[in-house]
Amino acid sequence: MLQNRCSHLVWPIDTLRAGIRDFDARPVRKGESRKEIVEDLLNSAEGLVHVDNVLMDREFDSQHVLEMISQRGLLNVVPKRMQTSEKAQAKRLLKHRKDRYETDRKLHLGRNKWHETTLIYRRKEDSEHNDHRQYSVFMSNRGSGFLSEYGYRWEIGSGYRSIKRFMAATTSKDFGLRFFYFAFACLLYSIWRVVDLLVQVKLIGKYEDSPVITADNTLTLLKKETGSG
């Protein structure tokens, strides 16, 4: 999965063999294309594990990125930013009360070359909107059968929001320092989850998603023992 994180990019990848993990982070250099960034991170990831699926943020919905991933024989799923045609289609779906719709789309690569993808419209349950914004549009090179895979990305996003609670605040633009703060926050987060797991297993004999030892408890103890926070 590809996600934007501050001044750098973090690469959590979902694979059948490796599960969901963080493999690489790198600064975004001026003048680089999205394709170059994704290709670089993919090369790094494939040097460590077998990659099957690439799940990305909507900022990476470029046809050139999707074509490069498809050329590698990998599944890709990415939300599409809704343009005029997608908004019009979503309005038609809403009018006819359709929750899901698929259509093939050719994306122009230049010089009479095209990337073939599938657009998948999915209506959000309990949406706060009453217009076309009830729908999300995804692009995939293997249809909607793999759309459920994208749900793993939400777990990654939730994890990052929790990790931010352990991260020291900084306004520095130095990538090395920012990456250290991020990596150290990941370490603290991991320690918290391991401690919570051990306590739950000891007290109730199994592990539940809801923590017994909260992040606030952990941060309070850290501040008390180290004087930092």
Residues ≥6 apart with Cβ < 8 Å to 29: none
Segment 154-171 shows an average pLDDT of: 81
- Give me the percent of the chain exceeding a pLDDT of 90: 32
Distance from the Cα of residue 63 to its chain's centroid: 18
90 pLDDT above the threshold of 60: yes
Q: Is residue 136 very low, low, confident or very high in pLDDT (cuts 50, 70, 90)?
A: very high
Residue 145 class from Cβ within 10 Å (0-12 exposed, 13-18 middle, 19+ buried)? exposed
For the chain, what's the residue count? 229
Report the alpha-carbon distance of residue 218 to residue 142 in Å, rounded: 43
Q: Write down the pLDDT at residue 229.
A: 58
32 CB contacts (<8 Å, ≥6 apart)?
none
Q: Could you tell me the pLDDT band of residue 226, with boundaries at 50, 70 and 90?
A: confident
Mean pLDDT of the chain: 82
pLDDT at 57 over 70: yes
Residue 14 pLDDT = 33
Min mean pLDDT across 39-48, 60-69, 99-108 is at 39-48
- Token pair of 54, please? 């690439």
Torsion sign (Cα): 56, 59, 61, 66: negative
pTM exceeds cut of 0.75: no
Task: Decide if pLDDT at 188 tops 50.
Answer: yes
Residues 101, 115 contacting (CB under 8 angstroms): no
Q: What pLDDT shows up at residue 88?
A: 96
Query: How far is CA 108 from its chain centroid?
Result: 25
Confidence of residue 6 (pLDDT cuts 50, 70, 90): very low
The rounded distance, in Å, linking the Cα atoms of 61 and 82 is: 11
